[in-house]
Amino acid sequence: MGTTPTTPTRAFNVDSVRSEFPLLQREVHGKPLVYLDSAATTPKPQAVLDAVAGYDMHCTANVHRAVHELSTEATEAYEGARTALASFINAPRREELVWTRGTTEAINLFAWSWGRTNLQDGDHVLLSEMEHHANIVPWQLLREQVGIEIDVAPITDEGVLSVDAVLEFITDRTKLVSLAWISNVLGTINPVREICEAARERGITTLVDAAQAMPHANVDVQAVGCDALAFSGHKMYGPTGIGGLWARHDLLEAMPPWQGGGDMIKTVSFEESTWNDVPMKFEAGTPNIAGAIGLGAAAGWIAELGPDVIASHEHELLEQCVKRLDAIERVQLIGTAPRKAAVVSFVIDGMHPHDVGTFLDQHAVAVRTGHHCAWPLMARYDVNSTVRASMGAYNTVEEIDAFADALERIIEVFG
Ligand code: PLP
């Protein structure tokens, strides 16, 4: 497996993109599926399905440990995927990419290992009001263990997090700024580069939650200037159960392992063990080999089309979606920031979001309803839940219209 290309190598054509996704060919309740739940998880293109099946069918073996041919092939594919992902995010070194189960595990790893080593009683960690629980609860666990304090930078009613709002909360006790690049509820694209720059000037470490950025933005860790970044494979057309933590090599070197077992050691005796090099120091036990290989293929698939090309297609979908929803009187959009990815949350006056989601399902439209693992954000907008339509490279303007038409009909009949 080679590295991911830096410029698109395929022309974008939404019909041909769609045809690569077997899931999108199916019907639901006898109607063509309209999949608008990509922020929760994305269907996988054939290239990813083939990569996973290729490992299962042709080179199933454990990695790093055996000398036989299958293990050599599996290790090459698995480590090739690491190279592909490292290249996809423009990491200076491939060893800086640690495989995890996803964003949640990556942030927990960082909080546990970096946090317990570098933070002490009274140190502050700065988050924002729009964080996913995955970027809140690990810091609360650390607060219980170490005694850190958590600050929360506010957002505007439109769902904008300004650099100034972040700066206002930075004091000489702030040791870490940990923020979502793109909100999974509001779709807001945060100014992470500017925030990381301001943090760096003040000697503050930065962690970026890129769960929603990987499928919607051009993720370049060097351009962003963060110290660490977390992501999930299943939100970027890859398999579930695989993701990564990228962090600067010197940071990883100085961090202690967080789980013990096979692969993460250099030597073991009952008296003492020594740790493997980065990144394997953080990868105890048999990893998700097929998942990593599938994720390598997903990164390659996105890179072939070009993240910017996908983002511009999704922007068209977003504009159509906002236009249609804005025209429905009882719909209130939650999150109207000028810089947004194709994630649209809303409530309908007098209708519970779960009912709206259930009715939409009858029209074969798959959306998310609930708190989206962002309770503090729900409280910020004084709602318990929202309906969320989130788009991907495979969605069409016709699907957005089908969704909006279904919504109008539902309001007419049940509202
Ligand atoms: N952060 C954000 C912004 C998310 O949208 C999500 C998932 O929705 C997560 C973190 C957690 O990702 P995962 O469940 O894949 O670990």
pLDDT digits (tens, 9 = 90+) for 79-114: 999 999 999 999 999 999 999 999 999 999 999 999
CB 142 within 8 A of CB 115: yes
pLDDT score for 54:
97
User: Among 373, 386, 390, which residue has the most ligand 1 atoms within 8 Å of its CB, making it the best to mutate?
Assistant: 373
CB 75 within 8 A of CB 63: yes
pLDDT score for 18:
98
What separation in angstroms does the CA of 119 have from each of 128, 137, 154, 240? 19, 16, 23, 31
Q: Are strands 97-100 and 243-247 parallel, antiparallel or unpaired?
A: antiparallel
Tell me what the mean pLDDT of segment 265-284 comes to: 98
Q: Is the pLDDT of residue 41 over 80?
A: yes
Mean pLDDT, the chain, whole residue set: 96
CA distance 325 to 346: 9
pLDDT score for 217:
96
What separation in angstroms does the CA of 54 have from each of 151, 174, 321? 46, 47, 38
For 105, phi and psi rounded to 5 degrees?
-70, -35
| Closest C-alpha to ligand 1, atom 6 | 211
pLDDT score for 2:
41
414 falls in which pLDDT band (50, 70, 90)?
confident
Q: Are strands 205-209 and 174-180 parallel, antiparallel or unpaired?
A: parallel
Residue 373 annotated to the active site: yes
Tell me what the mean pLDDT of segment 22-35 comes to: 97
Alpha-carbon torsion (367, 373, 375, 377), positive or negative: negative
Among the atoms of ligand 1, which is closest to the Cα of residue 234? 15
Distance in Å, CA 131 to ligand 1 centroid: 10
CA distance 279 to 321: 42
Among the atoms of ligand 1, which is closest to the Cα of residue 106? 16
Burial 176-189 (b: 16+ CB within 10 A, else e): bbbbbbbbbbbbbb
**CA neighbor of 411 nearest in space, from 345, 362, 360:** 360
Distance in Å, CA 204 to ligand 1 centroid: 24
CB 102 within 8 A of CB 241: yes
What is the Cα Rg of the chain in Å? Answer: 22
Distance in Å, CA 298 to ligand 1 centroid: 17
CB 1 within 8 A of CB 81: yes
Q: Is the pLDDT of residue 220 over 80?
A: yes
Among the atoms of ligand 1, which is closest to the Cα of residue 184? 5
CA distance 304 to 298: 10
pLDDT score for 1:
37
Pocket of ligand 1 (CB under 6 A): 102-104, 132, 134, 180, 184, 209, 211-212, 232
- Which amino acid is present at 144? E
203 falls in which pLDDT band (50, 70, 90)?
very high
Domains and CATH numbers, the chain: 14-45+307-414 (3.90.1150.10), 49-304 (3.40.640.10)
| pLDDT > 70 in the chain, percent | 99
CA distance 12 to 173: 48
To the question of pTM greater than 0.95 for the whole model, the response is: yes
Distance in Å, CA 356 to ligand 1 centroid: 23
65 falls in which pLDDT band (50, 70, 90)?
confident
| Closest C-alpha to ligand 1, atom 8 | 40
pLDDT digits (tens, 9 = 90+) for 301-317: 999 999 999 999 999 99
pLDDT digits (tens, 9 = 90+) for 354-384: 999 999 999 999 999 999 999 999 999 999 9
User: Among 41, 107, 184, 242, which residue has the most ligand 1 atoms within 8 Å of its CB, making it the best to mutate?
Assistant: 184
